[in-house]
Copies of this chain bind each other. A is one copy, B any other.
Amino acid sequence: MEPKVKLWIEKAGLLVLSDYRAQLLQHVADTGSLAQAAERMGLSYRRAWGKIKEAERNLGVRLVQSEVGGVGGGRTRLTPTGERLLAQYRRFRTAVEVDVGREFGDAFGEER
């Protein structure tokens, strides 16, 4: 048997961060491009943008910022707040995964 966990964070009952959205933000951070981030997620640009805008609206903060123009066109990157929330979410997620494995072993140890 193995434990499975799905995590997310709500604010006022609305989704603000989840594994899926954290992954999308991570791709933005890694690529500097919402188009590339969307492609890595198998999402349309419009849909990826909508997910980020929804999270921003529900949180009340900006998570990404776009720079227009320059050589090669604009870039999108995380705001300082976006970077901090992503780092916090990843820390939270990793810690909970460790906890879940330990608690599962404690509760079901004799089953394995």
Contact = CB atoms under 8 A, between A and B. Distances in A.
A100 interface: yes
Copies in the complex: 2
A57 interface: no
A11 interface: yes
Residue picked from A1, A2, A89, A95, most chain B C-beta under 10 Å: A1
A96 B16 contact: no
B10 A96 contact: no
A45 interface: no
Contacts of A89: 107
Contacts of A39: none
Given A4-B7, A96-B96, A99-B99, 17 more contacts: A2-B9, A2-B11, A3-B8, A4-B9, A5-B5, A5-B96, A6-B7, A9-B104, A9-B108, A91-B106, A91-B107, A92-B103, A92-B104, A92-B106, A92-B107, A95-B103, A96-B100
